Structure 1
Amino acid sequence: MTAKQIITLITGANQGLGFEVAKNLVLSSGSYHVIIGSRDPSKGAKAVANLQSLPDIKGTLDTLEIEVTDDESVDTAAEAVAAKHGRLDVLVNNAGILGQLPSLRDSLRAVLNVNVIGAASVTEAFLPLLRKSEEPRLIFVGSSIGSITGASDPSSPYYRPQGTDYRVSKAALNMLMVQYHHILGLEKKNFKVFTADPGLNATNFTGDADSLRARGAAEPHVGGAVIADVVKGVRDADVGKMVGKYGVSPW
């Protein structure tokens, strides 16, 4: 690893969109050292091995055990990155779940715990390391399905009474992002904070990638590229907003 590499942590990156973001970064440039965050160390190690076996890989990789709903795990992970790298340049809060419990209140607790509280916990733990970066970036992987504007507009594809728990979590995540954008911008003008919306992708997130393809979902590398563009600075004109395949999405 060279001294000038961009140290990038992606939570939930052993599969799906997080894996595709990591793949995009390490194939595009030797400037990136990507840390694959994973709850299961063996799955994280397998993801790293798979990426390292790719031809023409340019960046470097490592893995990190992190369970975003476990404060001890999160704090231990931050200590490990501090000891090894001394800073963090990019944090991509990608880890997330769908609500699959029969009771809405139980499902909301579970989904918010991962998608919102988990993202806030990770962010708070790694902020001291991000503050040591010359060009810190904080990215939350969101979704236009959390847009209240879309949910309220009969002409919008998001105007449907489905996925309440997940949609609430993504709406909350947008508020979390805006708050960090304001707070961190006040202390460091070049602290860039975003929500990245990768759109609908045919991952195993729902347990049925083929059904997502039937609904017109893109292949995961497409959404991965959307998030990777935010990491790379392609969307810097829209800092503090929810950006993605639709441009800037409304709240």
Structure 2
Amino acid sequence: MASSGKRIVFITGGNQGVGYETAKNLLLSSEEYHVILGSRDFSKGEAAAREIQAVHGVKGTVSAVQIDVTDDKTVDAAAARVVSEYGRLDVLVNNAGIISTANPPTRKAFRHVLETNVVGSLSVTEAFLDLLRKAVYKPPRLVFVTSSMGSITHAADPSSPYYNPLGTEYRTSKAAVNMLMAMYCARLKPEGFLVFGADPGLCATNFTGDPVSLRKRNAAEPWEGGERVASVIKGERDADVGKVLGVYGVSPF
């Protein structure tokens, strides 16, 4: 796949949902992008890459790499493959995540969600940092896909639409992701990195296994969530670096 001179973007969980739509948005917008879809199931990643490349009007290029963010060996292998094939990375998007609908919350679900959403994001970021330092398109960008559901300010405010006792595991994990974003922003700012949190909003994806019920709750379409994340990657939200950016602007932590 020709990618020389292109802006290289790696998206974890890129074979479906918001990750997939983010990739498609970028590739429809400009020929300057080459997007690597990180997928736990490589065959699904390859299928998604072929599907996007076949979309009418796509200008950029796309490929797939196998990665399970909870498996250090596959994370390191994915980084090694990017090193061997591209030698650099311009944008890393930590998008892979899971949710639990257990009520009340359970120990098992809590550990599983944190391992994927939080530890996985740190693992991938650390593995790919040296690749980002070699970015050709400056400044390198590091994006954490998060949620207003992870805002402690919202969760503690009875007047907020996000004030409810449900989704403990997922919401706590996204609060932790917001802190990760803030820590990496402080750490990497001296090196010229731009670090963001991107909130795609509630989208009718297969994330919960029931997109129909999400649409009944007025969820946005997946492409809308992808557009919101892509706007951060494209540099349209650079005035608010180091913050969580969503459909309604900047989300409080």
Aligned to 1:192: 194
User: Per-residue CA shift, 1:51-76, capped at 9, x if unaligned?
Assistant: 11111110001100000000010000
1:183 has 2:183 as partner: no
SS in 1 for 2:120: helix
Q: Give the root-mean-square deviation of aligned CA atoms.
A: 1.0
1:138 has 2:142 as partner: yes
Mapped partners of 2:64, 2:179: distance in 1 = 29
Q: CA deviation at 1:246?
A: 1.3
Mapped partners of 2:203, 2:154: distance in 1 = 19
Q: Is the CA contact (8 Å cut-off) linking 2:92 and 2:141 kept in structure 1?
A: yes
One-letter identity of the residue aligned with 1:204: N
What TM-score does the superposition give when structure 2 sets the normalisation length? 0.96
Structure 1, unmatched stretches of 5+, are: none
Mapped partners of 1:72, 1:3: distance in 2 = 27
The 5 Å alignment of 1:7-86 reads 7-86=8-87
Q: CA deviation at 1:4?
A: 2.5
1:164 has 2:194 as partner: no
User: Per-residue CA shift, 1:174-215, capped at 9, x if unaligned?
Assistant: 0000000000012x12x1000000100000100000100000
Equivalent in 151, 158, 167 of residue 147 of structure 1:
151
Mapped partners of 1:10, 1:90: distance in 2 = 8
Q: Is the CA contact (8 Å cut-off) linking 2:101 and 2:167 kept in structure 1?
A: no
| Count of residues in Structure 1 that have an aligned counterpart in Structure 2 | 249
One-letter identity of the residue aligned with 2:81: A
SS in 1 for 2:47: helix
User: Per-residue CA shift, 1:86-145, capped at 9, x if unaligned?
Assistant: 000000000000125575211110000000000000000000000111321000000000
One-letter identity of the residue aligned with 1:128: D
Q: Is the CA contact (8 Å cut-off) linking 2:11 and 2:92 kept in structure 1?
A: yes
Mapped partners of 1:3, 1:211: distance in 2 = 43
Q: Is the CA contact (8 Å cut-off) linking 2:102 and 2:167 kept in structure 1?
A: no
Q: Which of structure 1's runs of 4+ aligned residues deviate more than 6 A?
A: none
SS in 2 for 1:74: helix
Mapped partners of 1:237, 1:147: distance in 2 = 20
Structure 2, unmatched stretches of 5+, are: none
Q: CA deviation at 1:3?
A: 3.2
What TM-score does the superposition give when structure 1 sets the normalisation length? 0.97
